[in-house]
Amino acid sequence: VTFSILMYAFHHYEAIMKNIGITNKYVYYGIVGNLCTMVFVVYFLLLTNKFNFSNKYLDFLGNISFEIYMLYGLVMHYLGKFFISSPVNDVIYMVVVLLVSIIFAYLIKQLIIVIEKKLIKAV
C-alpha cells in the first residue's frame, strides 16, 4: 500500500512540488525523478516476486542473453540501412532485428560450445 501511494505521488511529483513552492527543475527532475525510479523498481520487484516466469522459451533466451546483448547493436546498425522509418516499418524492423539477433546469438553460442569442448580435450 505504501509503495502504491508513493507511486501515485511520484507520478504527480511535478504538480506536487509546484504546489509546495519548489520550482527548481534540478530538484524535481533530478532528485525526485531518481526517487520515482527507485520506488518503481521496488514496487515492480514486490509485484513480480509472487510470479514464476520460468519456461522453456525464457530459459532458451536466458542461455543466449549475453550473445544477444553483444550482437543486437550490430544487427540494428546494418539492418537500419534497409528500413525507412514509418510506423509499420518500425515494427517490422524491430521483429527482424530480434529474430536475426536470436539466430546469430544461438549460432555463436553453439560455436563457443564446440570451441570449449575442443579446448577441454586439448588440455
Instruction: Give the whole-number percent of the chain exceeding pLDDT 90.
Output: 37
Give the model's pLDDT for residue 89: 82
- pTM, two decimals, is 0.59
Q: Write the single-letter amino acid at 62.
A: G
**pLDDT top residue among 18 and 117:** 117
How does the average pLDDT of the chain come out, rounded?
Answer: 83
**pLDDT top residue among 120 and 42:** 120
Give the model's pLDDT for residue 27: 64
**pLDDT top residue among 50 and 106:** 106
Ranges 50-54, 58-62, 93-97, 105-109: which has the least confidence: 50-54
Report whether pLDDT(34) > 80: no
Report whether pLDDT(66) > 90: yes
Give 105's Cβ-side CA count (13 Å radius): 22
Determine the Cα–Cα distance for residues 31 and 33; give it in Å rounded to an integer.
5
